[in-house]
Structure 1
């Protein structure tokens, strides 16, 4: 007994080695992992006694305490399975999952017990028969989900089967504990009911309590991988132990509750930098725990095989009969429930019901429960042997036979094939890949270092036809074409392939809309990881996409869905009134600000992400008609405009302080993440040592924690607003300006200033909305903007625009002489850069340039105030907005890009063009053409996203074939013109 720890450690590492070997066997021979592990365990038990130290190890495990198995294995397996559940689909089909995991389990367990007692003529008592019936109806989440992922089944059906196995595990454990207590002692029927409710309700309540405690704790840990992962481990295991061994309730249900909480709301509490590592850790832990159980079961099966007194050929035939009868029982029960299941959730087809009948694959939970029963000394020895034999035998048969049966029937029913529209879109991407491959081949052929390449061999291994053949073999239409035209070239196959699709406008529109929402979900999650929206915000945004996908055949409505979720007028009005109550009003005010902050955060992220999704989808190019694409983009634009109107009406006018607070937090988070990435890069380059790296990260994470728990927002004062707008000015400059600033209050539809009238100043907006319009300008301004900012610039003789209030407006009137104070000039010209260019198009040579092109360049340029003798880098080129840089260059003159660094001849305001603009300017004869070219290039610039959506293949481009054909035509024409 003194060597017990060493033998256990040897067993664990031996199990991991067997796991590695089993996965390699699966890759090579396509044999499921679980049967391989059972075989390895059986062989280890049978022959292990002849190999020195291995003998005591495998023998010792025969008498292993089942409590150790249960406590070591169950929490990891159940938590890992529930953590990876798609929460939205799970809750949507919960009422389908619930009967499958409760009444189906009860009825199949009872009928299985009847089969064991009356048809198989074993002398088992009712309690023993029910216990074995419960164990034999424990479906395995890991095995079922692995099988479905290989088949690429429908996501909703996948979640239905996965959800059933998840709750089935918890339900089976509850029933098993009741049956085990009844089998080893007299228990009244009333006591069984009491025990059932204690196990279930107690498990749910304890799981929810631990979930809230974990949420509170983990929120206070920032970017600490080991601490955050360890906290989930400790919580899951302590919860299971406390529920199962101390509180007398179901540890399985408690851990399921914890895992589902983490998959729904808790995932946003984990630091974004840690989230992937957390899922990887639990996945590896689950795989290893599953392997240990199967190997342990195989060893005990080997012991039973060696012990011929307990088992014989009759038991083997009974096992085969029991395997068939289990399917008949499950089929009867599923079809009894079919009328109910097809009316709940997303519904259920006859084909899906049949697949559910044969997909009740047993696995690690059944095996673990059988081990617990086998080691329970109060049970009959003969029953314990049969319990273990029947369970492990059934597990092995279901994994081998049912897995192949499910795969066969899923393919037979066409449930795993791509739809025509999906196949068509994959074809578009394939076309792009083949064209790029052909170009790459030509480029490599021209390189001298590849003169000895065996091109026939390369083309057979990695050429366009090889790739196209492999892709077509996996598709329904492609497979038929390939069989009919095996010797065609890739170009001929593609031409025939494209002609095979005849898709309706409605089908293509629905698919385009669906992929837009899939892309949008990825962008939302990226925004959260980049610190650009709150954790709860990303959950409701993704939820709005999921709800919109449920009605994907209709026009986009995700903003209408989101608005109902984030803004309840009655509740907001109640909070607003209650916030004015003495003493307790502070609490209501805090809640009110929390709701408004969430509302603005969700609405602003919605607008930004929709705009980014439009750009990204356009770049990805899906093979559809241009009119369909633009129709879907138009739907998105309507949603954006509705959201903007909502922000203006409900937030901008009433809660300007919230906008300032949210924007400040987002900017702070962006800077902190940038600092963290830079420090990590420097560390990995070897510039700093580990101790310095840790100190630097600790400082940044401390600031991140402060940002997380920041106080309630407040309205910025005039002084704070001026400091934010004029960053070059010092505190004394702001103090000198303050006495000349006038606070103004305007009702809606009031004219602040009129075009052609003398300049009275400009208005820094504190609250409300203003529309400013003129010859070239038409825009809406809100908090933080300066209406009429270009009127404050040097040499401006009169108002060039008109401004009208759209709502109640609070603003500060800035005097027109402010530009005489040169400390304010740079910030004024930064704010007014677009207006300066638009109002002086003729002077700048931009008469032919479109306004949107001018605005894009102005937004991405850098405005600098230079003094006499200041050095200016003109690699990008520049425009002089005021003053003289060279003696021969007047105001509004162009400074062409040059490698020279020049000195300014006088004081001036210079707008340095964006990065890469210098090269574009050199390629065009006019500055207008350069502006247009920059606009097109910047619009098509790739957007880098780390999209954490399981369906990453859904992000294929829309429009590839058509657009690539157009580009090829244009390229050919251009080449002909050159020739």
Structure 2
């Protein structure tokens, strides 16, 4: 009810605003590419129609506010809802019944019947609708209807049907316009009518009458269960050819009035592509905004509503391009990538809102169309003859269009079946857009009165005839063509489901009989409400194993897709992941279940991280950007593989309930077992493939997987807490305001998780590695954070060369995860592990790398380059000595592993030994005595006084008196 009141208020305010604008029309300067708004505003409204001021005068004179629009909206909504409620099982489609009611209301007002019976206030409201400004129809209703249709599209089906829809909507509509125009000129030459029509006016009528409105046909197609592909191409063509028709109308209208400028073809392209650009830019902005909003229905829905009208307004009034195409582009962007940008909790509400908005818009617009036709159109006998010929002509034109392009269309995308093309031909209804364009012509005094009046009459007549003839017979046509017939397998599944429902109901009756409050019920009467298991209209005739497998595969794929979206709604699958996996399911469904569930070539492309990204992330300057892409790609791979395994496990549990079998009496149990076994093997193969991939990924990138699993576990915990909160609310243990406060805290945590990047989780691993790195572990917290923020995080696949011997180190490398082999002239010298450092010793002594370093396993490391080290030491002076200690530890670890005395110690013990060592900086001639331990000469030269032996760094010295020869650096082990 709240949504209804909001929409009612919006429409009322918009209509009154439009009426106020209508009275203040100002003629704009002529432009070479005139927008639809300009075409409307430059017409002479007062010339041949009753002024809207007549409606304002009357009983409400002096109030200053015309309430006729408001009253008309209220009446229309009640008429619409009453029609839907009372005549829901009528033979005529809902919108066609509204059109007839509008015609009746218009006639009653035209002949002052309402005034004579004391309903003058209603007559004024209807009279207002009959003289409504056509641009108000376009601006108020088109954005809602077009956006809702685009937003409701199934994007995968739309993509594969797009080329065929464009063929019908662009070259197809041009063919239809040419055929229609020459047919009208033929009628003129035969002397039947249209004596004052010119060739341009004939082409203008062709453009007007080409705008289709198949809302009734689409509703019937969905109701009878016809192919989704047929309803998609029908609706897609309608949206696109509305835009094409309006653009062509603007171009031809400008030629007639002498205001067109430039090349018509160039203008057509500019207006069309400009509309696409406007819709795309606004769509990008809105998606960026929605991405930052979490679970706020008011913001998300309001933003989308505003975007639909803003795109139409900017396109038409500001940039003078196609508003229809702009809204279509926006709607498609919202139905595609935008579907996951809206919060999962808001998505259903958003769809419901737009369905309600479209219902109200269709209710108002079809009643208005009927009223306008009844009040403004006049027919003579000659006009009716021409109308009949034109009605035949538009069908010939549409037939010619489909015939010309059918050979091409049947080979593109899904193709188009012959039977579908018949429905497409007959279902080309005309509606409000065509009538609004005709009204624009009818109120323009620059065109002679007789032709423009005839154009309006013909358009109105075609709208009525296609609505009363085509719309009412299309269901019969669909049935005759067999497009609503379901196969034996679907009928079998339906019968099986009905049987299950009945069995469940019978069990429930037995339970109810034991209920002390119901035990005295008339159980025969109660049992009469059990569903009839034989209620299926089409009974299965035979059981075909291949068809059964194909149908069951389709059901399993649909269930798998539902699993992905459920995981997304729970925050357990990313938006990119659910889009990729859903697209893959849609691609498999295109095969109709004919290929095994385990044949998924695309799934490996989704999981596999391109090697190019892994290499690019180590480049200077742009490496940080590619590193982010690499981490995100790893996260996406894990995300998709985990969701895939979950979906396969869910399908395995529910497989037996989807099998058509012996219970239906149409198959032997052996066939059912064969079917179950075949599909179970396919699902099991999928599950094993996914689990194997996840295991390998964990082994290669444990830190990344740990970060992802931490995020998943955190979100799962928050989901559980929200469910618990809901249970406490139902138990009455919390007040509503208390629930809102707690829920706000949980949602804030969820939003924080969504915004948490993988880098932030990886930084925890970097910090842990620094704490275990000798020297760097003693850095202050601020200094460590500085290193983390400035250091370059790099990830190397197994076998990658990290650095080559004799190359410049340009900094220090710290291993975060994995193991690295280092080679001397292709000879394996040693292995470095987590928290080990390399390149530090060469940095300290300004040497070239002494070894080549190769990733033995996938390796994650952080590189602190020379420029970062300079910044670090300037900002944190104590870091200079600690970096020297880190470099000393680098060479010390290498020497100790090669020493007989220390080689038996584990890496952990060696690291502990080095961490407790002391660093001494010795000047020329300075002496130092150490006993009971060893000394690592890191830099310079030193002489042992006992043997008078000269040692050059790097070297290990046992217990002795040490005298420096020049400046030296020594690490004394404990």
Please state which band the TM-score falls in when normalised by the shorter chain: 0.5 to 0.7
CA distance in 1, matches of 2:707, 2:656: 33
Q: Which residue of 1 aligns with 2:622?
A: 584
Displacement, 1:631? 1.1
**1:628 aligned to 2:628?**
no
Once residues 809 and 112 of structure 1 are traced to their aligned partners in structure 2, the CA distance between those partners, rounded to angstroms, is 70
Give the equivalent residue in structure 2 for 1:560: 601
The one-character-per-residue Cα deviations of 1:643-690 (angstroms, maximum 9, x if unpaired) are 3333444x3243323212222222232333444444455556665555
CA contact (8 A) 1:45 1:58 kept: yes
Tell me by how many angstroms 1:133 deviates: 1.7
- Report the Cα distance in structure 2 between the residues aligned to 1:578 and 1:182, rounded to whole angstroms: 56
Aligned to 2:751: 705
Tell me if the contact between 1:108 and 1:330 (Cα under 8 Å) persists in the aligned partners.
yes
Unmatched 5+ stretches in structure 2: 1-55, 57-62, 662-670, 772-797, 800-815, 820-833, 835-855, 861-905, 909-974
| CA separation of 1:456 and 1:654: change in aligned 2, threshold 3 A | closer
Alpha-carbon distance between aligned partners in 1 of 2:260 and 2:766, rounded to the nearest angstrom: 76
Q: Distance in 2 between matches of 1:5 and 1:679?
A: 50
C-alpha distance in structure 1 between counterparts of 2:456 and 2:464, whole Å: 12
C-alpha separation between the residues in 2 aligned to 1:457 and 1:690?
42
Alignment partner of 1:502 is 2:567: no
- What is the match of residue 157 of structure 1? 230
CA distance in 1, matches of 2:179, 2:217: 23
Tell me the CA shift for residue 394 of structure 1.
2.2
TM-score (normalizing by structure 2): 0.67
Change (3 A) 1:357 1:141: closer
User: What do the CA deviations read for 1:819-876 (whole angstroms, capped 9, x no partner)?
Assistant: xxxxxxxxxxxxxxxxxxxxxxxxxxxxxxxxxxxxxxxxxxxxxxxxxxxxxxxxxx
| 1-structure distance, mates of 2:632, 2:184 | 60
Q: Check 1:19–1:563 CA distance in 2 against 1; reply closer, same or farther (3 A cut).
A: same
The within-5 A match list for 1:186-201 is: 186-187=259-260, 190-201=262-273
Separation (CA, whole Å) in 2 of partners of 1:370 and 1:293: 15
Q: 2:529 aligns with which of 462, 467, 471?
A: 462
Q: Is the 8 A contact 1:657 1:715 kept in 2?
A: no
Change (3 A) 1:566 1:250: farther
1:638 equivalent to 2:685? Answer yes
CA deviation after TM superposition for structure 1 residue 415, in Å: 1.7
Q: What's the CA shift string for 1:550-596, capped at 9, x where partnerless?
A: 23312224642122245353xxx332222223333211111111122
| Contact 2:577–2:640, Cα closer than 8 Å, also in 1 | yes
Alignment of 1:762-801 (within 5 A): none
Distance 2:561 2:546 in 1: 23
The structure-2 alpha-carbon separation of the partners of 1:617 and 1:377, relative to structure 1 and needing over 3 Å to count, comes to farther
Matching residue of 1:42: 103
The verdict on how the C-alpha distance between 1:125 and 1:186 changes in structure 2, with shifts beyond 3 A counting, is farther
- Structure 1 residue 529: deviation in Å? 0.5
2:260 alignment partner, SS class: coil
Name the structure 2 match of 1:204: 276
Please, which of 496, 501, 525 is the counterpart of residue 565 of structure 2? 525
Inter-partner Cα distance in structure 2 for 1:369 and 1:656: 64
User: Is the contact between residue 38 and residue 297 of structure 1 (CA under 8 Å) also seen in structure 2?
Assistant: yes
> CA 1:665–1:369 in 2, change beyond 3 Å: closer, same or farther?
farther
- Aligned-pair distance for 1:512? 1.9
Mark the runs of 5 or more structure 1 residues left unpaired by the alignment: 479-496, 724-746, 749-764, 769-783, 785-805, 816-979
1:81 matched residue in structure 2? 149
Work out whether residues 610 and 640 of structure 1, in 8 Å CA contact, stay in contact via their aligned partners in 2: yes
Q: 2:501 maps to which residue?
A: 433
**Cα separation, 1, equivalents of 2:277 and 2:653:** 46
Quote the residue 1:607 is aligned against. 645
Instruction: Judge conservation of contact 1:547–1:558 (CA < 8 Å) in 2.
Output: no
CA distance in 1, matches of 2:290, 2:488: 46
The aligned counterpart of 2:328 is 256
**1:902-921 equivalent positions in 2, closer than 5 A:** none
Aligned Cα root-mean-square deviation (Å): 3.5
Partner in structure 2 of residue 389 of structure 1: 457
SS in structure 2 of the partner of residue 424 of structure 1: helix
- Specify whether residues 64 and 638 from structure 1 end up closer, same or farther in structure 2 by C-alpha distance, changes over 3 A only: same
**Helix, strand or coil for the counterpart of 1:29?**
coil
2:588 match: 548
Q: Tell me the residue number matched to 1:8.
A: 69
* Structure 2 counterpart of 1:656, from 678, 686, 702: 702
> Please, which of 694, 704, 714 is the counterpart of residue 668 of structure 1?
714
| 1:419 equivalent in alignment to 2:457 | no
1:726-765 C-alpha deviation (Å, 9 max, x unpaired):
xxxxxxxxxxxxxxxxxxxxx99xxxxxxxxxxxxxxxx9
Where does residue 51 of structure 2 map in the other structure? Answer: none
1:266 is the counterpart of 2:338: yes
Could you tell me whether the CA contact under 8 Å between 1:104 and 1:333 is conserved in 2?
A: yes
Query: Which residue in 2 is equivalent to 1:843?
Result: none
Instruction: Tell me which of 250, 257, 275 is aligned to 1:184.
Output: 257
Determine helix, strand or coil for the equivalent of 1:249. coil
Q: How does 1:712-731 map to 2 (within 5 A)?
A: 712-713=758-759, 714=762, 716-717=764-765
Contact 1:304 1:311 in 2 (8 A): no
* Distance in 1 between residues matched to 2:461 and 2:417, nearest whole Å: 31
Aligned residue in 2 for 1:275: 347
Q: How far, CA to CA, are the matches of 1:374 and 1:168 in structure 2?
A: 22
Q: 1:453 to 1:373 in 2, by over 3 A?
A: farther
Q: CA offsets per residue over residues 146-187 of structure 1, 9 Å max, x none?
A: 010122112222322222222222222222222332333253
Structure 1 pair 237–680 and aligned structure 2 pair: CA distance change class (3 A): farther
Give 1:446 deviation, angstroms.
6.3
Q: Provide closer, same or farther for how the CA distance between residues 182 and 684 of structure 1 changes in structure 2, counting only shifts above 3 A.
A: farther
User: What is the alpha-carbon distance in structure 1 between the residues aligned to residue 767 and residue 657 of structure 2?
Assistant: 44
Q: What is residue 845 of structure 1 aligned with on the other side? A: none
Number of matched pairs? 708
In the alignment, the residues of structure 2 paired with residue 457 and residue 648 of structure 1 have an alpha-carbon distance, to the nearest angstrom, of: 59
Does 1:315 pair with 2:315? no
Give the 5 Å matches for 1:137-148: 137-148=210-221
1:99 equivalent in structure 2? 167
Could you say which structure has the larger radius of gyration? Answer: 2
Q: Deviations over 1:14-52 (max 9, x none)?
A: 221121122124314232122222233233333345123
Checking the alignment, whether the CA contact within 8 Å between 1:32 and 1:399 is kept in structure 2 is: no
Instruction: Describe the shift of the 1:529–1:508 C-alpha distance in structure 2 as closer, same or farther (beyond 3 A).
Output: same
In 2, the alpha carbon distance for the partners of 1:808 and 1:661 equals 16
Whole-Å Cα distance in 2 between the matches of residues 718 and 250 of structure 1?
53
Structure 1 pair 213–5 and aligned structure 2 pair: CA distance change class (3 A):
farther
Shift of 1:248: 1.2
Q: Which residue of 1 aligns with 2:3?
A: none
Q: Residues 887-926 of structure 1: matches in 2 within 5 Å? A: none
**CA displacement at 1:511 relative to structure 2:** 1.7
Secondary structure at 2:503 match in 1: helix
